[in-house]
Structure 1
Amino acid sequence: MDGREVGEVPAFGADEIATVCDDLRRAQPQWEALGPRGRSEHLLRWLDWLLDNERRLLELVQQETGKSWADASLEMSVALDVINYFTANAEGFLADRKVKPAGAANAVRRLRVQVRPHQLVGLITPWNGPLAGPMMDAVGALVAGAAVVSKPSEVTPLTWTEVVRGWREDIGAPPVLAAVNGDQEAGAAVVDQVDMVMFTGSVRTGRAIAVRCAERLIPCSLELGGKDAMIVLADADLDRAAGAAVWGGMTNAGQACVGVERVYVEAPVYDDFVALVTSRVAALRQGMDAPGSFATDIGAMVTPAQTDIVEEHVKDAVAKGARVLTGGQRRPGNGFAPTVLVDVDHSMRCMREETFGPTLAIMRVADENEAVALANDSDYGLSSSLWTRNRRKAEQLSRRIEAGSVSVNNALVATFQMPIPMGGWKNSGLGTRFGGAAGVLKYCRQQSVVEERFALKSEPLWYPVAPWRSRLMGRAVRLLGAHDWRRRLGRTPRN
C-alpha cells in the first residue's frame, strides 16, 4: 500500500519449469500409491504447520496485498476448511463405484468404475487471494493423488512460495508440490507441461488457456470474471440485505470475483435501502492496520492498474448521469474510497464490465421480472444473491437467474459450500471447483472395469460365425428387447 519492497522471488524460465515438472512426475507414482488416507496424513501435517506459522503467513499476505488484517485472516480460514473437508472425505470420494449391469446378456458381468489421477496438474492463480486461492484447488488435486505445479500471480508470489516451501522442507512431505514464479510466459510454460489445468483469472487469459489445452487435448477448468447481481425485493429484510450488500461488495476491497457489484432494488423500498447502504459504506474504516489489530474494515487495491479501472468506471458512470453518494475518489497508495453509485443504467461500464473494486452500483427496478431480466443482461454468470421473505418466490426466481450459484438472503456464502459446485456460466468460466466428490474427481480420469463372473470357453459372438447360433441370438434379442408379444415372436404385421 505504501510502495515499499517486501520481498522477491526468482523468475523461472521455460526450461526450468520443464525440469521442475519432470521431477514432479517422477515423484507422483509413489504419492498415488499412498492412497487417500496416506496422502491425507501429509495434508493434515501441512494444516498444523499453517496454524503454527499463521501470524507470519498472514503478515506476508497483508504486506504483498495491502489487505486489512480482517481480510487477510479470512484466507487462513478458507485454507483450513478446504484441507479438513477433503481429507475427511477423500476415501469415500475416491472409492471404486460398483455399477449394476444393463440388459440380460450382461447380467453375468461385474461392472465397476475406478479413478486414477492426472499425473501432473497445473494451477495458475490470481493476486486477490495469495493463500486461499491456491489452497482452494491444490488440496483437491493432492488428495486425488496428482502432483501439482503451481504458478501464483507475479504480483503476489511471496505467501504461496513460502507455503509450498513449508510443504517440501518443514514438514518433509513428498516432493509432489512445487511453486514456479514468473509472468505470462511462465504460465504458458506450465500449460505446456501438465496433464490438466485449473486456472482462475481473467476471461481473456482463460480463453487463451482453453485454446492451448484444446490443442494439446488436455482438460481444463476455468473460474473467470464475475459481475455478480443482487436482487432485493420489496418484502426483503432491508436491514440484513443492506448489511450483506456492503459486506458482499466491499470485502477484500471489492477484489473478489464473487463480490456483489450491481444491485437491483424494487421501487417501493429503493430509497430506504439506498440510505441504509450509504450510511454503512460511509462508516467503513479503510487502511492496512497493524497485524492482529483488526482496526480497519478493508484495505487497499492490490495493483495501481486495478485502481485505474475502478476510477475509470466511476468517472464513466458520472459522465453518463450517475451520482456518487459516498466515496468516488482515489486515496493514497492504491486506495480507493468505498463508493456507492445510484441513477445507474446498463449503458455504464460499472454495470456491464467487471469493476473488481470497492463500489456498489444500485439501480431501481419496477418489479421482480425487470430485476431478473437486468441481472441476466450480462456476459457474466458467476454468482448472485436474491432477497425475499417468500420462500416459494425465491425458489421460482432462482431458476430464472443465469448464474452458477444463487445465495438466498445472504451474500457470497454459496461460494464456500464445499459439498456443492462453485462455477460460472457464460463468460464466467468452464467447469467447477468444490462440489463434494467432484472437487476431487475433476483431477482424475475414470476407468471402467468389466469382469466376467464365469469364464466360458467361448462367447456367442466369437468366430467362427455359425448360422444356427446367429439366428438363435437374433431371436433372443427380440424376445428380451421387444415390448409386445408379436415383435418378441418375430411375427409380421397384418396389412
Structure 2
Amino acid sequence: MSNTAHAPTDTLPNSEMIAVENPATGEIIGHIPDLTPEQVADLARRARAAQPGWEALGYHGRARVLRRMQRWLMDNADRVITTISAETGKAYEDAQMAELAYGAQAFGFWAENAPKYLADEKIRSSSLFVKGKRLTLRYRPIGVVGVIGPWNYPLVNSFGDCIPALAAGNSVILKPSEYTPMTSLLMADGLAACGLPDDVFLVATGRGATGAAVLDEVDMIMFTGSTATGRKVGIRAAERLIPASLELGGKDPMIVLADADVERAANHAVYYSMFNCGQTCISIERCYVEAPVYDDFVARVTAKTRALRQGVPNGPGSVDVGSMTFPPQVEIVERHVEDARQRGARVLVGGHRGRADGHWFEPTILVDVDHDMACMREETFGPTLPIMRITDADEAIRLANDSEYGLCASVFTRDAARGEAIARQIKAGSVTVNDALVNYTALELPMGGGKPGSGVGYRHGVGGIRKYCRQQSLLISRIHGHRDVHMHPYNATRTGLFTRVLALLNRGLPARSRRAD
C-alpha cells in the first residue's frame, strides 16, 4: 500500500510533506501535508461557511448521509481494515472487531438517536413569574468542532468522535495523528461519496503545530491523548473560553477474587491486556489476584501469553498481536519493564523488544510487583501485564484506587452481587463485573474518566452528543395582559400580599408574625 493523501486545501504547494510509515515493517505507505496555521485558518473559514447548510438539513437529512456511510464502511470493509492495519501495525482482527465494527455501529446509532437525544424538552417551573408560559430547552450545534485524535485507534478514537458532532449539525475539522492519518483521509473520501456537503468535514494533517492551530480556530475541542498534552489543551481552551472534552490516560485495574472463574479471568486478562498490542486507553494494565487462586491464575495467563503469535499482520488469522505504533511508546514500555526488573520483579514471558525491524515489544507478564514500580503506577500503554498477589478484596480496592487515573476497571467473582458492591467502591468512570472493555460497545452508556488524570467529559450516551451543542432556553408568553401585577408602580397592599404568598409557597410563617432573633 503506497499513496499520497489528497490535498485538503488549495495552498498545499507551500506545505512540507510527512512520510507515513507502516510501524510493523518500516515501509513508507504514504505522504501527507504538514498544514500551516494559515492553511488551518482557511479550513476553518470553509467549515464555518458550510455549517449552516448542514444544520438546515435537520436530523433526518443528516441521518440519511450517516446511514449511507454505514453501508459504505461495510461495502469497503477490507479496504478500511487494511488501511488501519498498515498504518498502526495492529492485527487484522483487532482492526475489524474494534475499529470497523465500532464505526459501522456508531453511524447507525447516532443517526437513530440524535433526534431523540437533542429533541426540544418541555420544562416545568415552580416560579410564580412564569406560570402559564411555555418553557422549552433546545440544543443547537456549537458551530465548528475540532477533534484532535490519537494514533492508537484512528477510526474509533479519532474519526469516531466526529460522528456525533456531525449528527448534531456541526462542521468538523479532524486533526489525526501524523503517525496514523490515512484512515481519516479514507473516511473523508467515504463521506464525500455518500453525499456529505463540501467542507462540512475536513482533515487537517500535520504535526503538533497543526493541532495547536486547529485548537485556536474552532468553537469546541474534543481531544484524546496523553494526560500531559490534555492539560495543555485544556489550558488553551480555557484561555479561549471554548468548551473542551478530554479523554486522557488510564491505568485500569483488574481484580480477581478467590471465588472467580479463573479460566474466564485468565482469558480476559490476556486478551484485554494484549489487544492492539496493549495500546488501548482502557486496557487491563495491572492485575490484583487473591492469594488462594494466584498461582493458578498466573500459570494460566503465562501459558496463554506464551502461545500468542506476534508478527507482521498479513490478513485474517495471520497473527494474534501486531507491532506497536508510536516509536517513543516502545521506549516507555522498555523502561517500565526494566524498572520492574531492577526493583525485584520477575519476567515470566517476554520482556524484550523482539524484532529488529519496525516497532516491537514482546507480550510480557510480570510478577512479584508492587506499587513502588512504574509499571503499577504510570500508564505503560504496551503489551505488558503486571500481576500482584493480594490478601483480600479490601486490599484490592485500596490498591485499585491508588492511582491518579480512573478510566475503567474490572472485577471477577462468581458472586455478581458482591462484584457489583466492589465495583461501586472503585473510583473509575466505568467498572465491569466478570467482563472487561465491552462496555465501550454499548453506545448508550457514558464513557469517561472518574479522576482528573483520565480527563473531563464523556463520549457516548446522551452526554456524548449534547457536549457538541449549546443549550438555548425559550420562554413563550401566550396569554397575558398589558402589565404584570408585580410591575411599577409599587404599592404597600400588593407588596404585603406578595410577601404572604411568598412565605406560604416556601412553607414559612407570614411575615407579620416573625420576630428578629
Q: TM-score when scaled to structure 1? A: 0.96
Deviations 1:371-427 (A, max 9, x none): 111111111111110111112211221121011110110111122221111001220
Question: For this pair of structures, how many residues does the alignment match?
Answer: 489
Task: Show the counterpart of 1:174.
Answer: 197
Task: Show the counterpart of 2:246.
Answer: 222
Displacement, 1:480?
A: 3.2
Task: Show the counterpart of 1:317.
Answer: 340
SS at match of 1:380: coil
Is 1:429 the equivalent of 2:455?
yes
Gaps of 5+ in 2: 1-23
1:90-489 → structure 2 map (5 Å cutoff)? 90-168=114-192, 170-175=193-198, 176-291=200-315, 293-332=316-355, 333-426=358-451, 427-435=453-461, 437-483=462-508, 487-488=509-510
Gaps of 5+ in 1: none
Displacement, 1:80?
A: 0.7
Deviations 1:160-181 (A, max 9, x none): 112113223x223112111001
Identity of aligned pairs, percent? 47
Deviations 1:236-282 (A, max 9, x none): 11000000000110000000010001000001110000001000000
Letter in 2 for 1:299: G
Task: Show the counterpart of 2:11.
Answer: none
| Aligned with 1:8 (options 22, 25, 31) | 31
Say if 1:479 and 1:489, in contact at 8 Å, map to a contact too: no
C-alpha separation in 2, matches of 1:285 and 1:321: 28
| Aligned with 2:61 (options 14, 20, 38) | 38
C-alpha separation in 1, matches of 2:341 and 2:175: 38
Letter in 2 for 1:337: E
Say if 1:104 and 1:480, in contact at 8 Å, map to a contact too: no
Say if 1:36 and 1:90, in contact at 8 Å, map to a contact too: yes
Displacement, 1:453?
A: 3.4
Say if 1:258 and 1:383, in contact at 8 Å, map to a contact too: yes
Displacement, 1:216?
A: 0.7
Displacement, 1:156?
A: 0.7
Deviations 1:313-346 (A, max 9, x none): 1111011100011111111121211110000011
C-alpha separation in 1, matches of 2:496 and 2:396: 64
Task: Show the counterpart of 2:13.
Answer: none
Displacement, 1:90?
A: 1.5
Moved more, 116-125 or 302-311: 302-311
Is 1:48 the equivalent of 2:103?
no
| Aligned with 2:85 (options 62, 78, 81) | 62
C-alpha separation in 2, matches of 1:326 and 1:493: 79
Letter in 2 for 1:362: I
Distance 1:493 1:171, change over 3 A: closer
Say if 1:480 and 1:488, in contact at 8 Å, map to a contact too: no
Letter in 2 for 1:434: H
C-alpha separation in 1, matches of 2:100 and 2:183: 11
Moved more, 269-278 or 456-465: 456-465
Deviations 1:155-206 (A, max 9, x none): 11111112113223x2231121110011111111011011111000001110
SS at match of 1:131: helix
SS at match of 1:414: helix
Say if 1:339 and 1:359, in contact at 8 Å, map to a contact too: yes
Letter in 1 for 2:263: D
Displacement, 1:494?
A: 11
CA RMSD of aligned residues (A): 1.5
C-alpha separation in 1, matches of 2:505 and 2:274: 64
Displacement, 1:66?
A: 1.0
| Aligned with 1:26 (options 46, 49, 66) | 49
Deviations 1:94-149 (A, max 9, x none): 11000112144432122110111100100000100112222331111010111100
Q: TM-score when scaled to structure 2? A: 0.92
Displacement, 1:471?
A: 2.8
SS at match of 1:397: helix
